[in-house]
Amino acid sequence: MGIMSEVIPLSEARRGARGRIVQVGGASDGDEHRAELERRLLELGFVEGARVELLHEGLFGRDPIAMRVDDMRVALRRHEAASLTVQLFAEAAE
């Protein structure tokens, strides 16, 4: 499992980073657009507690990113990944 360390937005993670999602969405403040993004992330399996690993990055601006989410693979842009907060596992933070 590793020792928990840094907590960062998933959008700032680099290839190889592994961790656990601690927050999806955040305060939506009644913003329908953000609330919808939160629901869609949840529907694709990005839920608090899910194990994630950043598998691949795109060529330009390291965007989009391919993630392992529990036992499936999902691609998303860093822009959307900013709505996900992850706690990185220690060994990957080296």
Partner 1 sequence: MDVALRAARAALVGNPNSGKTALFNALTGAHQKVANYAGVTVERKEGLIRGTGGRTLSVLDLPGTYSLRARSPDEEVTRDVVLGRLKGEAAPDVIVAVADATNLRLVLRLILELKQVGRPMVLALNMHDIAQRQGLRIDLEGLERDLGVPIVTTVATRKRGVDALIARIEQLAAGWPTEAPAGGWTAPDASTIRAAHREAERIMRAYVRPPERPDTLTGRIDGVLLHPVGGLAILLALLFVMFQAVFSWATPMMDGVEATLGWLGVQVGAVLPDGLLRSLIVDGLISGVGSVLVFLPQILILFLFIILLEDLGYMARAAFLMDRIMGGAGLHGRAFIPLLSSFACAIPGIMAARVIDAKRDRLTTILVAPLMTCSARIPVYTLIIAAFIPDRTVAGFANLQGLVMFGLYAAGILSALAVSFVIRKVFWRGAVEPFMMELPAYKLPDAKSVAFNLWLRARIFLERAARIILPLMILVWLLSTFPYPPEGATGPAIDYSFAGMIGRFLEPIFAPIGFNWQMVVALVPGMAAREVAVAALGTVYAVADAETATATLASTLAAQWSLATGLAFLAWYVFAPQCVATLGVVKRETNSWKWTAIMVVYMFGLAYLAALVVYHAAVALGGG
Q: How far is the CB of 78 from partner 1 (least distance, A)?
A: 10
Total chain residues near partner 1 (CB under 8 A): 35
30 binds partner 1, rule: CB under 8 A: no
Convert 5-57 into a string of H (helix), E (strand) and C (coil): EEEEEHHHCCCCCEEEEEEECCCCCCCHHHHHHHHHHHHCCCCCCCEEEEEEE
44 binds partner 1, rule: CB under 8 A: yes
The piece of 1-9, 62-70, 85-93 that touches partner 1 (CB under 8 A) is 62-70
